[in-house]
A and B are shown apart, each in its own frame.
Chain A
């Protein structure tokens, strides 16, 4: 790396720092007097990752270094990096939040994310290491028409990465805005610039190390928080759950969720209900559909598969998945305690007040454990958790951008456009240019998607990966008759059905349904406001007026909120694709789109018939099982 590049790298890092630090604004979670702590911790973590990038940049000499860290990552290191890729803000903040608000259902939701790795471990990781080189397209090109399958696979890779990326960018923007109060646009740009710094200068080497550092920080922070929560309850064993169900805040939350059904329940029953299913997940079929997308989709995620090209052998690929499963599973068990701890110590009303989705449960718990919103230690801990969450988003986005950029440069530019005729220097330059393009795209989409409900995009990314990417990779590796026709059919059918079904599903915005729901809120609150106003007027004692005024304010807020929601929709009556109500009732399309994706590969392969694909089968199968002739690790 030239001196000029190094200077640019350093100034990019500084630029991102200034962006984070210079934006004065209101804060919701950290009061202004403690703002310097947040900046200090953010600066320290960003500086650490930039230093790692600087060291990594010196080691990125060839294209193999850029795409796959030269195959020189160990199983243990890769295991932490996979955990880092996977423990995105969605699972760290999201699952802890779901448990804090809905108890059992949040915990059950986390299980699928771990089980997904069994598929990766048993049937994907090792053959992919033996057959592939840099991208998913490489695996398919082994026995199919390289230009065709690389082109289609690259499109699918970029589609999946973009969905996931958009969700991360928007989530990151909202998170940083909530935590330290800088503007949404600036947080998105800061995430984008930092991420570009890691990827362009440090390639896969820097991306891997940033993932490792961030995963270790995340696990350490969670461990400390769990120990602190536990110490509040005297390190109790099973009695800890007795405290959970006996907690007044938990009982009040369940009563609020159940509404009228809670009237005849005792306090103890309400608490127990928190540990039973059904408070959040109402549709079992939808859960099964999501489970299918997770269990099969993880193994089709380009940024996860790409990690297996960074280790030298299939055995190291296996070891890395086993480490990743230990770390990810252990982490989800910790979130059970983070979530229930936040439910008791912070309480649902405070969590929802900062973020209705519950994403702030873990940071608020950190603040409480350190001594509360007015203490220095509390805010230091909040800042630390916030900075780790920020680093998480940047690192996950870096992995996704690298996956999309490799598909663009290695599969489309070198594979399709140049017909595999490009020098190493040309390809490395193309990879960096593509990174810049994808990065600019990510920042633009992130800013454009402001205020959109993007939570379902993560589920959609998994659904496309499970319906298109996994069937074609799995059948290329394990089915003799699979060929180019099947791969193209599978990618097209899997991607289009997954996206198509989501477009007509309840995930989309249906103005008429929302207007009806909001109108109901107005109708219930209007008489309440009248009654409360009358009561306040009647009450002479100021002490008696106080709680009534609070209730009145809440009711008025609900009413104006509903009115604003209706006003925002204007005269819209139909969804994006012109529907007034969903055509397809499931939020997760996997149940239908995954079997269709597999079916398309079968039918496409049988109709197309390709002698070459069958002739190369022996070679592919022998090599995927023995590792003979695999892409060797670069000497470092």
Chain B
């Protein structure tokens, strides 16, 4: 492995494409999930009256919002898993050709 020319693989257009798509997707999703989560304690601290608004019998906005955190977390996991299989395919292709792109002659 140490004999591989890693820089050559790194600058291979297919790896660059994987890097660009994956980074944008991952950090975007990460930023969204952190933002959505921190709305919960911020809201509970500073928008208590909103949380108290009853929506459905005794079930209020706060309770629904807390429950939505679970749904959103699962949705993010599911969405990521779907997209990740595309990244897997791209990575597998690069790994298969690794010797051709990065092999030392």
Docked-complex contact B58 and A287, CB < 8 angstroms: no
Docked-complex contact A626 and B95, CB < 8 angstroms: yes
CB neighbors of B among A281-308 (8 A): 281, 283-285, 287-288, 291, 295
Q: Number of residues in A with C-beta < 8 Å to the partner?
A: 54
Docked-complex contact A618 and B7, CB < 8 angstroms: yes
Interface string of A292-331 (1 = CB under 8 A from B): 0001000000000000000000010011011001100100
Closest to B22 in A: A625
Given contacts A111-B70, A121-B77, A242-B57, contact A625 B1 (CB under 8 A): no
Q: Bound state CA distance, A271 and B45, in angstroms?
A: 20
Name B's interface SS.
helix
Q: Bound state CA distance, A332 and B73, in angstroms?
A: 13
Any B CB within 8 A of the CB of A118: yes
Q: Bound state CA distance, A242 and B88, in angstroms?
A: 48
Q: Bound state CA distance, A333 and B69, in angstroms?
A: 11
Q: Bound state CA distance, A188 and B25, in angstroms?
A: 47
A326 to chain B, nearest CB (A): 7
A259 to chain B, nearest CB (A): 18
Q: Bound state CA distance, A628 and B67, in angstroms?
A: 40
6 closest residue pairs by CB, A with B: A284-B45, A619-B6, A277-B44, A287-B41, A618-B6, A629-B1
Closest to B102 in A: A622
Interface string of B64-95 (1 = CB under 8 A from A): 00110110011011101100100010011011
Q: Bound state CA distance, A104 and B6, in angstroms?
A: 52
Docked-complex contact B73 and A626, CB < 8 angstroms: no
Docked-complex contact A241 and B91, CB < 8 angstroms: no
CB neighbors of A among B6-32 (8 A): 6-7, 9-10, 15, 18-19, 22, 26, 29-30
Q: Number of residues in B with C-beta < 8 Å to the partner?
A: 53
Docked-complex contact A111 and B58, CB < 8 angstroms: no
A-B contact count (CB 8 A): 152
Q: Bound state CA distance, A119 and B37, in angstroms?
A: 12
Any B CB within 8 A of the CB of A238: yes
Docked-complex contact A108 and B66, CB < 8 angstroms: yes
Docked-complex contact B60 and A276, CB < 8 angstroms: yes
Given contacts A119-B30, A122-B26, A618-B6, contact A276 B15 (CB under 8 A): no
Given contacts A241-B58, A245-B58, A628-B95, contact A288 B77 (CB under 8 A): no
| Interchain residue pairs with CB less than 8 A apart (22) | A107-B66, A108-B44, A112-B37, A112-B41, A114-B70, A121-B77, A121-B80, A242-B57, A271-B58, A272-B58, A272-B60, A275-B58, A277-B62, A283-B45, A284-B41, A315-B84, A333-B67, A618-B10, A621-B10, A621-B19, A622-B10, A626-B91
